[in-house]
Amino acid sequence: MIQEMGKLYIVATPIGNLADITFRAIETLKSVDLIAAEDTRHVRMLLQHYGISNKVIALHQHNEDKAASEIVEKLRSGLSIALVSDAGTPLISDPGMPVVKAVHEANLTVVPIVGACALIAALSAAGVAITPFTFEGFTPRTSSARQTFFVERSAISTTWIFYESCHRILDCLQDMTAVLPPERSIVIARELTKLHETIVKLPLAEMLTLVETDANMRRGEFVVIVEGAVKIDVSENTIAPEQERILKLLLTECSVKKAVELTVEITGGKKKPIYQAALALSNTNTVLN
């Protein structure tokens, strides 16, 4: 008799409101042989809520590679496994990638059981241009790395979106304010699906003031959406205000040559006018000490 292989189910769980789970997710969690969870205690609360008493094994960042081969072996032996994270869709800024890759490489089946995802919930309610958008996960941890991250994205003309924690939301907005234009539209979607759900769209400068002055705006979990920059016309032989702003910022940190190279790379502009502007800026000493 040929042994039937098990399947790996990627099961989305709620991002706050426990009612945000599908019938199919509950059925899957009930029917699999094992549940692989980012935090076994956390998932037990959810399972208890739905009267599910299945066996749970740990799958976190630190044991993912080892767990991947063990999960492949278990699937080969015919067991079916559900993978869940602490909240939302697994693998979206959550563990699971090595497991899913290993299961594909073993020619076994991966089945997504769809459901909540904070970035999709935020985008669906934000009222900003969606296609295309770029999801960035979490921003870098240090202020200087974050500012570089924002500078690199400042000329992108499409929407970008990232996750942020309550510990860093204020620092993050301050770093954005240091390098992005004050009128750039920002959406903060906090505590989605929960009691204090808040979705606010404001120009960056006003958003910073709001988060500085309202302590509630520094509590909970955050999705931040940034509307794209107004497109720069690269056919013109002149330098656009956004290019000049980026160039000025880079000139405070780099040589003229490097600042020009990076501005061309970031904005896609023409080298000659950017180079001339860089020379003018450094000669007039407006940005260099």
> What is d(CA 222, CA 73) in angstroms, rounded to the nearest whole number?
38
Residue 287: C-alpha distances to residues 84, 171, 253 (Å): 50, 24, 10
> What is d(CA 10, CA 15) in angstroms, rounded to the nearest whole number?
15
Judge contact between 225 and 134, C-beta under 8 A: no
**Contacts to ligand SAM from residues 168-197, by CB under 6 A:** 189-194
Judge contact between 190 and 233, C-beta under 8 A: no
Q: How near is the Cβ of 13 to ligand SAM at its closest, in Å?
A: 9
Binding residue for ligand SAM, selected from 28, 43, 88, 188, defined by CB under 6 A = 88
**Contacts to ligand SAM from residues 95-124, by CB under 6 A:** 117-119
Q: How near is the Cβ of 138 to ligand SAM at its closest, in Å?
A: 7
Smaller CB separation from ligand SAM, 216 or 238:
216
Question: In a 10 Å sphere around its CB, with 0-12 CB exposed, 13-18 middle and 19+ buried, how is residue 22 labelled?
Answer: middle
Question: Interface with ligand SAM includes 38 (CB under 6 A)?
Answer: no
> What is d(CA 37, CA 81) in angstroms, rounded to the nearest whole number?
10
Binding residue for ligand SAM, selected from 25, 68, 81, 85, defined by CB under 6 A = 85
Q: Give the interface size with ligand SAM as a residue count (CB under 6 A).
A: 24
Binding residue for ligand SAM, selected from 163, 177, 180, 260, defined by CB under 6 A = 163
Question: Interface with ligand SAM includes 211 (CB under 6 A)?
Answer: no
Query: Interface with ligand SAM by CB under 6 A: which residues?
Result: 15-16, 85, 87-89, 92-94, 117-119, 163-165, 189-194, 221-223
